[in-house]
Amino acid sequence: MRLAELTEFLVKNLVRDPESVSVKQFEDEDFITIEVLVSEDEIGAVIGKKGVIAKAIRTIVYASSYANNEKKVRINIDSL
């Protein structure tokens, strides 16, 4: 569950209302899927222009997964 906690930490520090952030982790045989839900007016702060911030979040979480020999990770970002 460390990857979900890392993702939650990163996202909560980007938004104005950290309580509106919901992060859940699901696992199957090949992947770890992390679902990030934020309020509709905060989605821009998490995705960023041209997806730059979302890409940076994914890079950090992927690197953590790789460094700890965990499964491949998918991160889905959506609004409530």
What tens-digit pLDDT sequence spans the chain (80 residues)? 599 999 999 999 999 999 999 999 999 988 999 999 999 999 999 999 999 999 999 999 999 999 988 899 999 999 88
**Residue-range definition of the domain harbouring residue 47:** 2-79
Query: How big is the CA angle at 24 (ends 18 and 27), to the nearest 5 degrees?
Result: 155
- The Cα–Cα gap between 58 and 62 comes to 6
**Predicted pLDDT at 74:** 93
- The Cα–Cα gap between 66 and 45 comes to 26
Q: Which two tokens stand for residue 35?
A: 């679902």
In three-state secondary structure terms, 35 is strand
- The Cα–Cα gap between 74 and 76 comes to 7
Amino acid at 45: A
Q: What is the CATH number of the domain that holds 27?
A: 3.30.300.20
Q: How many domains does the chain have?
A: 1
- The Cα–Cα gap between 32 and 45 comes to 24
